[in-house]
């Protein structure tokens, strides 16, 4: 699928995997809408890539609509990348047996609202706009990539909210791809392993956590870098024969 001259929305585009993706899509000739909560970083990136920043909280349907409208104003919307996301809470909760209090229900609902429902809502609204596109020579009206996680298949202590949300993103892949195929829109999901981004926070504790997890990568024994994910996003968007797939990009990690 050709994205040169089309518009593309990247939710969570101000940081990490989303920012690397926004840079790649811009380099490939798309007009990129960076849709993120973080206005400072989002605006800076939009300026760098000659794109547009739209302040978006993905839990707010009207704000997603604003991003879709901004994209359509630039050019036909042909790509959506859902990279907005947050982690769970502490990584040690649950060890003391206080499961209910450790898994605060408000935190659980928040993670589901952003990572799962926000992703679905953006798919819903962007796909509606894409379905109005003229099909190109390859018959693609548009393509969507959602960011899940290997946590969808794994079960680390304290990660119930995150794993549930990412399991939902994996779970929607086939049924939504089936729904959208009728309109000539493809949807694929990436399940990243451990990618070195601000999602892990900063400081000695997070450095130690990342170093330990790097050891569980089969090869290479390191965290991934955002562009290693962005290149897969680009492939899934532009390869017209990729549909309804969940692709792990994780160095063969097996979580401890």
Q: What is the spatial distance between Cα 162 and Cα 116, in angstroms, rounded to a whole number?
A: 9
In the bound state with ligand NAD, the residue whose beta carbon lies nearer, of 94 and 193, is 193
Q: Which residues are known to be catalytic?
A: 162
Cis peptide before 220 (omega within 30 of 0): yes
- Write down the H helix ranges in 103-189: 105-111, 118-130, 160-181
Q: What is the spatial distance between Cα 248 and Cα 253, in angstroms, rounded to a whole number?
A: 10
Minimum CB separation of residue 220 from ligand NAD in Å reads 15
Minimum CB separation of residue 9 from ligand NAD in Å reads 11
In the bound state with ligand NAD, the residue whose beta carbon lies nearer, of 197 and 238, is 197
In the bound state with ligand NAD, the residue whose beta carbon lies nearer, of 11 and 133, is 11
**7: nearest Cα among 228, 190, 180, 237:** 237
Nearest-Å Rg of the Cα atoms of the chain is: 18
Q: What is the SS3 assignment for 7?
A: strand
Minimum CB separation of residue 76 from ligand NAD in Å reads 23
In the bound state with ligand NAD, the residue whose beta carbon lies nearer, of 53 and 141, is 53
Phi, psi of 151 (to 5 degrees): -60, -20
Minimum CB separation of residue 234 from ligand NAD in Å reads 15
Written as six digits, the tokens of 69 are 């409208």
Please return the burial class of 83, using the count of CB atoms within 10 Å of its CB with bins 0-12, 13-18 and 19+.
buried
Q: What is the spatial distance between Cα 22 and Cα 9, in angstroms, rounded to a whole number?
A: 8
Minimum CB separation of residue 171 from ligand NAD in Å reads 15
> What is the contact surface with ligand NAD in residues (CB under 6 A)?
11-12, 14-18, 36-38, 56-59, 83-86, 114, 118, 147, 149, 192, 194-195, 197-199
In the bound state with ligand NAD, the residue whose beta carbon lies nearer, of 180 and 253, is 253
């Amino acid at each position: 699928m050709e994205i040169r001259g089309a518009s593309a929305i990247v939710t969570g585009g101000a940081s990490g995997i989303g920012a690397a993706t926004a840079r790649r899509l811009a380099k490939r000739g798309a007009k990129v809408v960076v849709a993120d909560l973080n206005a400072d970083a989002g605006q800076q990136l939009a300026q760098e890539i000659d794109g547009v920043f739209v302040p978006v909280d993905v839990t707010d349907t009207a704000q997603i609509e604003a991003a879709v409208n901004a994209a359509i104003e630039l050019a036909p919307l042909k790509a959506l990348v859902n990279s907005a996301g947050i982690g769970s809470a502490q990584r040690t909760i649950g060890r003391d047996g206080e499961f209910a209090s450790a898994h605060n229900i408000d935190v659980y609902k928040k993670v589901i609202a952003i990572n799962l429902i926000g992703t679905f809502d953006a798919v819903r609204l962007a796909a509606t706009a894409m379905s109005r596109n003229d099909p190109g020579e390859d018959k693609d009206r548009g393509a969507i990539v959602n960011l899940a996680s290997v946590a969808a298949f794994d079960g680390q202590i304290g990660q119930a909210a995150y794993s549930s949300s990412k399991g939902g993103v994996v779970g929607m892949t086939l049924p939504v791809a089936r729904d959208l195929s009728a309109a000539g829109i493809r949807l694929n999901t990436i399940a990243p392993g451990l990618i070195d981004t601000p999602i892990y926070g900063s400081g000695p504790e997070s450095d130690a956590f990342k170093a330990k997890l790097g050891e569980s990568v089969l090869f290479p024994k390191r965290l991934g870098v955002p562009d290693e994910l962005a290149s897969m996003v680009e492939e899934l968007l532009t390869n017209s024969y990729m549909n309804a797939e969940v692709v792990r990009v994780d160095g063969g990690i097996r979580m401890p």
